[in-house]
Amino acid sequence: MNEVVKLTPKDFTSDQEVRWCPGCGDYAILKCMQRTLPEIGTRPENTVFVSGIGCSSRFPYYMDTYGFHTIHGRAPAVATGVKLANPDLDVWVITGDGDGLSIGGNHMLHALRRNVDLNILLFNNEIYGLTKGQYSPTSRAGTRSPSTPAGSVDQPVNPCAVALGANARFVARTIDTAQKHMPIVFKRAHEHKGASFVEIFQNCIVYNDGVFADFTDKKAASERQLLLENGQPMIFGKERNQGLRLNAQNLTLEVVTIGEDGVTEDDILVHDETNRMLAHMLAELPKEDYPVVLGVLYCKPEQSYEAAVQEQEAALTTKSGEADLNALLRRGQTWTIS
């Protein structure tokens, strides 16, 4: 019996020179992934990374696994084919806010609604980094860029809200520099059987530096980040005395302070990651007056797409027997050329 060798991050690190701008948040995500995969217990030969086009999409080059660097926006389609061809593979989709939500929005939607067992990581830096700083679908109104010199007038896309609207069964958020939090989210995404969608707030140091600083800087993090934990009250703040409460009159979430106006911890809403309506409310909280919610917003597993396809094929084989390709090609109208 062969002994299973315990792997290390080095076993998932390719020999390619990593080429991102110095200080790019992609470095932190890459290191976290290379560290997390051995902890999950996956094997390089059973792992595939599929990407589209963009800075994030260089990811497969730097992983010592199988990988496809595909075309703009089509990573979910290619990854779906990989998973259907070999359902035993761990398939990760690496995409960005432009690649995944603009030209690739349609492919993303259908991968999520079909519930293909893919781990989809969307790097969101609210800008097109590879093509020199044009505004993207997630750029905020007023964003000045080469394509919007007077400021964008578009209303931005909310990635987690889009995923929930597409009937994703697993939706989560994390931050590029959160080296303790990110592995937890990656592991949960990997455990989920079906399409998992993870939005990663990622800093573009060249074209959109500091866009998330109001909640990612060390001094601001404790006051502006709410880390979700299933079954636990949604409490945040440096003093751990603030939380989210459901306003029963208008069915909205509100920030309250424990100890003020008679508010106790019993008034704080308890997170239920199986509640889709609650997940929508958390995903769409305005950043100005609320904390940024991180962690697993929603998780409610259902049968995955490739499992349903396999089940259907097995049922058809039982009913009709093994298919004969030669007979299929010669069935119906055929002719002979002499």
* Residue 152 contacts residue 140 (beta carbons within 8 Å): yes
In total, how many domains does the chain have? 2
Q: How far apart are CA 32 and CA 176, in angstroms?
A: 9
Q: Are 117 and 140 contained in the same domain? A: yes
Q: Are 102 and 156 contained in the same domain? A: yes
Q: Are 67 and 175 contained in the same domain? A: yes
Q: Which domain holds residue 201?
A: 9-232+272-305
- Predicted local confidence at residue 326, as pLDDT: 87
pTM confidence score: 0.94
Tens digit of each residue's pLDDT (9 = 90 or more) over 40-87: 999 999 999 999 999 999 999 999 999 999 999 999 999 999 999 999
Tell me: pLDDT of 1 over 80: no
Domain boundary among 244, 270, 296: 270
* Residue 94 contacts residue 51 (beta carbons within 8 Å): yes
Element (H, E) at 235: strand 235-236
- Phi/psi at 184 (nearest 5 deg)? -60, -45
Tens digit of each residue's pLDDT (9 = 90 or more) over 80-127: 999 999 999 999 999 999 999 999 999 999 999 999 999 999 999 999
Give the range among 62-66, 204-208, 217-221, 330-334 with minimum mean pLDDT.
Answer: 330-334
Give me the chain's average pLDDT, please. 95
Tell me: pLDDT of 273 over 80: yes
Q: Would 173 be classed as within a structural domain?
A: yes
Q: For residue 10, how many C-alpha atoms fall within 13 Å in the half-sphere facing its CB?
A: 1
Q: How far apart are CA 254 and CA 261, in angstroms?
A: 14
Q: Are 136 and 260 contained in the same domain? A: no
pLDDT band at 2 (very low <50, low <70, confident <90, very high): low
Q: Would 215 be classed as within a structural domain?
A: yes
Q: Are 119 and 14 contained in the same domain? A: yes
- Looking at the DSSP bridge assignments, the partners of residue 134 are 128
Q: Are 93 and 166 contained in the same domain? A: yes
Q: Are 136 and 41 contained in the same domain? A: yes
Q: How far apart are CA 220 and CA 39, in angstroms?
A: 30
Mean pLDDT of 242-254: 94
Q: Are 238 and 102 contained in the same domain? A: no
Q: Are 145 and 258 contained in the same domain? A: no
